[in-house]
Amino acid sequence: MKYLLFLLFFTSFLYSQSKEDKVYSITYWNEFKDRLSANSSVGEYSRLMVNGNSSIYQIYNVMILDTLREDKKAKDSDRNKYFSFNNHTIKIINSEISYQERIFEDEYVYNETINYEWSLHDENQIVEGYNCKKATTFYGGRKWEAWYTLELPINAGPYKFKGLPGLIMKLTDSSGSYDYTFVAMIEKSLRPLEKYHHQKPESEWILVDRITFNKTKANFENLSLNEKMSYGKPGSTAKVVMVGNEDFFEMRDPKKTGKAEDYNPIEIDYKD
């Protein structure tokens, strides 16, 4: 009996050590409608890097462009080539979040403590070949439905979500505006998770709280296309805007981009 207890303890110890010595690189496919009038969803890949209780979440194109900038290899054409609708980088250590996002050349940073109140349900579903269980929670003014698997006992998920006894494989808000689906995961040897490279010194970061940032971003997104393009010109207080390629313009009706009621961000509680 003593030998069995020792074996169980030793196995558990090795498992906990092995998890801390590995980095899990998890890919998600994101689909979203950031305009209520959109006829179809926009999609892009994101990556979640997890080591123990620490993680960093970025859109793939943001990660690639950041690396090119850090290596001094970024070209003007790369802004279009690696364009993303979501320029945020989300770092989490335990329950502490550091959220970073560029609104063009301004860098905003806010910190947040999260403590999701998950409701666990008896429902089951297969997601990408994994047995998953259902959980629901509220965050950012939306109700979220998550499917997590105990087969991958990793306390993590896309965007800011975590706090379940397994990896979140699929996450959808109740309106169907935002959906994240697991694509693949690989294990890597331990290395720093840092991938975000600031373009400005810390003294020039704009430090705000979450609600203030979301209000600021909404104010910007509700400008007309012409107003955005005029930023940085003589008499303006901001810099010239690079908003993406031709597909970007075609997906958004310029007549509707200025309407606040059409804007559909992932977090909507700033309106309360």
pLDDT tens per residue across span 63-87: 777 777 666 676 777 666 777 778 8
The per-residue pLDDT for range 89-102, each reduced to its tens digit, is 999 999 999 999 98
What's the pLDDT band for 243 if we cut at 50, 70, 90? very low
With residue 63 as reference, give the H or E element that holds it. helix 60-70
Q: Is 65 helix (H, G, I), strand (E, B) or coil?
A: helix
H helices within the chain, ranges in order?
Answer: 2-20, 60-70, 78-81, 210-221, 225-229, 246-251
Q: What are 6's strand-pairing partners?
A: none
**Which residues pair with residue 130 across a beta bridge?**
127
Residue type, 32: F
* Structure-token pair, residue 221: 């997104």
> What is the token pair recorded at 150?
């105990």
Cα of first residue to Cα of last residue in the chain, in angstroms, is 59
With b for 16 or more beta-carbon neighbours within 10 A and e for fewer, the 227-261 pattern comes to: ebebbeeeeeeeeebeeeeeeeeeebeeeebbeee
* pLDDT at residue 14, as a whole number: 40
What gap in Å lies between CA 110 and CA 12, rounded to an integer? 37
Report whether pLDDT(240) > 50.
Answer: no
List, for residues 159-187, the tens digit of each pLDDT value.
Answer: 999 999 999 999 999 999 999 999 999 99
Residue 251 above 50 pLDDT? Answer: no
CA dihedral in degrees (211, 214, 215, 219; nearest 10)?
170
Q: Parallel, antiparallel, or unpaired for β 42-51 and 22-32?
A: antiparallel
Residue 234 three-state SS: coil
- Any idea how long the chain is? 272
More confident residue, 236 or 262: 262
- pLDDT higher than threshold 80 for residue 252: no
For position 271, what pLDDT does the model report? 86
